Amino acid sequence: MNLAELNKIAVAMVTPGKGILAADESSGTIKKRFDAIKVESTEDNRRDYREMLFRSTEAMSKYISGVILYDETIWQNAKDGTPLVKLIEQAGSIPGIKVDEGTQALPQCPGELVTVGLDKLAERLKKYYERGARFAKWRAVIDIGSGIPTMTAISVNAHALARYAALCQAAQIVPIVEPEVLMDGDHVIDRCYEVTQRVLNKTFQELRVQRVELEGMVLKPNMAISGKKCPKQASVAEVAEKTVRMLKACVPAAVPGIAFLSGGQSDEEATAHLDAMNKIGNLPWKLTFSYGRALQAAPQKAWSGKSENVAAGQRAFAHRAHMNGLASRGNWESGLEKKVA
């Protein structure tokens, strides 16, 4: 393992002003997104949509540091035969790959899940590296509800995240470690804070046990935020203050950067929260974005599966990427949202 090289990639992934495009939706998830814009989810349509994003020169070169791909996408070629991975590289961005294989019910823990996919991961990582992937992603899912999460669910998911991260570094691939505490439910922000703190503490304990080099990884957590169904939604300032406090208590300064998931927030909410955190300043790590829906909802709607709408889709993508790029520096203002090209 070459730690200096891993650290170089991890630092590049959290370059100020840039963030990560999560284009790793599973076949089921992208079908739901395409259904919403009345586009059939065929392999060609999925390819065309993602090619549109990766050829968005302004967005990719200025604001996107890396792209997380789904297994199908990393092997696809653009219409002209160029591998999609090459389009990402040509834009100055880093190709990455989602390597977990989804979730299964956790035995003896009703309502809780464990992420699977460690079997044969070492062999898969070698193939992904050869194809051009330089980072990977593994998502653990922790739900908040009556009596959950249990320490069992937190422990087994943290252990799997750490094993995955160690395998990635052995394969010279930077791991994105994603322990997601879901924002579904009616819990208050303080309940999210408390659960996320437990999850992060256990995750870093496991990472140390598995000898993962913190300088060669990126953390992708949720923010401390109210549940979607909570009648009292925390303000932007409260989300920012509590998230930064929580992260300072849990995340070692050796980690180069933290790239948040949007987790169901609206486009502008996700941007406003990230901006407010960076405005607090004096942080030991870079704070940026690794958004999926919060970067893609607008371009999907503008594109709607029509080749004549590709330019409009790219403009919408560039705008959202630009807004989040500004937020990653603490330079976003809500008034900028109205100045769409």
The catalytic residue positions are 178, 220
User: Length of the chain in residues, anyone?
Assistant: 341
In terms of Cα–Cα distance, which of 244, 161, 146 is closest to 191? 146
Residue corresponding to tokens 């590709």: 310
Residue 244 phi, psi dihedral angles, 5° rounding: -65, -40
Angle at 48 between CA 45 and CA 52, to 5 degrees: 140
- Whole-number Å distance between alpha carbons of 183 and 193: 11
Q: How many Å from the N-terminal Cα to the C-terminal Cα in the chain?
A: 45
Whether the Cβ atoms of residue 50 and residue 98 lie closer than 8 Å to each other: no
- Whole-number Å distance between alpha carbons of 277 and 243: 8
- Whole-number Å distance between alpha carbons of 259 and 18: 10
Helices (H), the chain: 3-13, 27-36, 43-54, 57-63, 71-74, 84-90, 121-131, 151-170, 189-209, 236-250, 267-280, 293-303, 310-327
Whether the Cβ atoms of residue 119 and residue 87 lie closer than 8 Å to each other: no
- Whole-number Å distance between alpha carbons of 170 and 173: 7
Residue type, 125: L
- Whole-number Å distance between alpha carbons of 49 and 39: 10
Is it true that the peptide bond before 149 is cis, omega within 30 degrees of 0?
A: yes
Q: Which positions ≥6 away from 38 have C-beta within 8 Å?
A: 304, 305
For residue 206, the cross-strand partners are none
Give me 267's structure tokens: 């486009």
